[in-house]
Amino acid sequence: MTDDLIVNKLIDRIKTAIKFRANPNQICIESRISCEAMLKLTYKREYGQVPPSITFEKLKEGVVKKGVLPSHIVSLFDAIQRLGNKTAHIDEHLTDRSISEALVVENSLGNICNWFFNEYLNIELSLDNLYDNLNESQNSILINYEHLIRSALSDKKLEIDEFEEILKARDDLKIDFNEAIKIESKICHELLQVKVNDIVKY
């Protein structure tokens, strides 16, 4: 397979990862796979071939040695590697990744893609092009936001960290204000038996 075909296949893979932005576990796994693919392509360009069964860490170390990977991008690869590994190798409590962690992964992936395609490969790729499937996942985003609100209010109290996560989710997931209010009002009425127009002001 030619490098051009591999790059196009990688772009499709990244679009798939972003499509799962409302599913924290899935975006963490898919983003790690996409990042490993970018490291392999970079390693191949720098060294000529990729050793079989090479690990994510060794790929990263090899690329860093060539001096082509900026330090701030290394830290983004580290974040996705860490959260991807935590998702794949689940703990004894079967802990799911949080929306906040998913947002870290999505933001890191976007910045890595900007470096990889626009700076390293010198391909003019707008990050907007990676969000082709965004509308298809909007329903999932709202469902995920509803789960976040339910979880935060399950004990009928809203802790400060839960409050901050709701604010961040609203902003980073770009949830329509009216849709957010509708979800919050419904769940507050259901769980707390109170009428709330805006959970942020409640």
Render pLDDT for 49-77 as a digit per residue (tens, 0 to 9). 999 999 999 999 999 999 999 999 999 99
Q: How far apart are the first and last CA of the chain?
A: 57
CA angle 138, 139, 144 (to 5 degrees): 95
Render pLDDT for 24-56 as a digit per residue (tens, 0 to 9). 899 999 999 999 999 999 999 999 999 999 999
Closest CA to 17 of 7, 31, 6: 31
Neighbours of 142 (CB within 10 A): 18
The rounded Cα 113 to chain-centroid distance in angstroms is 12
Is the CATH code 1.20.120 the one for domain 1-131?
A: yes
The rounded percent of the chain whose pLDDT value lies above 90 is 37
Tokens, residue 122 = 């010198």
Q: For 105-121, what is the mean pLDDT?
A: 90
Q: Find tokens 């079967």 and name the residue.
A: 94
Highest-pLDDT range among 79-83, 128-132, 148-152: 79-83
Question: For 162, which DSSP code?
Answer: H
- The full set of domain ranges for the chain reads 1-131, 133-202
Predicted TM-score (pTM) of the model is 0.69
pLDDT score, position 104 = 84
pLDDT score, position 136 = 47
